[in-house]
């Protein structure tokens, strides 16, 4: 069985977990905090980042969520998540990169630093100005999701794809940390609620990061 080295609020681990669940691939979770990772973890991934996917029986180790997702797509035919025509697949990859890179840098990363790392690791109060800027950036990203939803039920077209999983993984962490205001974003909110109701998403909603509790609506499939 695959083992995923991760921590509960790692959005990239969440993306991989969603993809594996949608494809019906079993895995077990192994806690790994990058901020206090030991030599064993660094030996698995010299970059010191989660997720890491490890299959002990086959002595296979995969690092970097993009590489892991491409591997899963290439080796598991069922439920393709980089699907459609060549143009469709290019669009899916573009959107995955947008959320993995831009949304993470603008929203998820500052929220994680201010609300998780400062509290758990640094023992410092959050910077309110940085939090406000992250929430403002989240509003602009939700505007874009609203626009994408004007002509299709999913972000990259008529079928759910890795783009939806990547976006939802980032948003779920930001939502856990209180950084998402859905006011005025009904198309984006409806899309997210559809994903929250999927069996692949439920384990994410039930997990908690020590010391940090999410808003009451976080795990509500209707909220």
pLDDT band at 107 (very low <50, low <70, confident <90, very high): very high
pLDDT band at 223 (very low <50, low <70, confident <90, very high): confident
Distances (CA, A) of 115 to 95, 103, 118: 26, 17, 6
Over the stretch 63-82, which tens digit does the pLDDT of each residue have? 999 999 999 999 999 999 99
Question: What does the domain layout of the chain look like in residue ranges?
Answer: 2-75, 86-206
pLDDT computed for residue 38 by the predictor: 83
For domain 86-206, give the fold.
Answer: Glutathione S-transferase Yfyf (Class Pi); Chain A, domain 2 (1.20.1050)
pLDDT of residue 7 exceeding 90: yes
Structure tokens at 29: 């979770």
Dihedral sign for Cα atoms in the order 188, 21, 99, 134: positive
Over the stretch 156-198, which tens digit does the pLDDT of each residue have? 999 999 999 999 999 999 999 999 999 999 999 999 999 999 9
pLDDT computed for residue 46 by the predictor: 94
- 2-75: which CATH number, 3.30.479.30, 3.40.50.300, 1.10.8.590, 3.40.30.10? 3.40.30.10
pLDDT computed for residue 222 by the predictor: 79
pLDDT of residue 37 exceeding 90: no
């Amino acid at each position: 069985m695959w083992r995923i080295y991760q921590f509960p609020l790692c959005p990239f681990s969440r993306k991989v977990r969603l993809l594996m669940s949608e494809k019906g691939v079993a895995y077990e979770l192994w806690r790994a905090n990058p901020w206090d990772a030991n030599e064993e973890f660094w030996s698995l991934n010299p970059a010191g980042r989660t997720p890491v996917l490890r299959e002990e029986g086959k002595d296979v180790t995969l690092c970097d969520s993009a590489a892991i997702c491409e591997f899963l797509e290439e080796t598991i035919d069922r439920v393709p998540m980089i699907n459609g025509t060549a143009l469709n697949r290019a669009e899916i990859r573009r959107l995955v990169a947008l959320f993995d890179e831009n949304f993470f840098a603008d929203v998820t990363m500052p929220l994680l630093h201010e609300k998780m790392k400062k509290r758990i690791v640094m023992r410092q109060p959050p910077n309110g100005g940085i939090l406000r800027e992250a929430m403002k950036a989240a509003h602009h990203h939700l505007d874009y999701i609203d626009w994408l939803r004007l002509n299709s039920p999913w972000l990259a077209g008529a079928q759910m794809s890795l783009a939806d999983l990547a976006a939802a993984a980032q948003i779920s962490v930001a939502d856990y940390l209180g950084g998402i205001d859905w006011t005025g974003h009904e198309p984006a909110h409806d899309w997210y609620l559809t994903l929250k109701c999927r069996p692949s998403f439920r384990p994410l909603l039930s997990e908690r990061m020590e010391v940090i509790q999410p808003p009451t609506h976080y795990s509500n499939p209707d909220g």
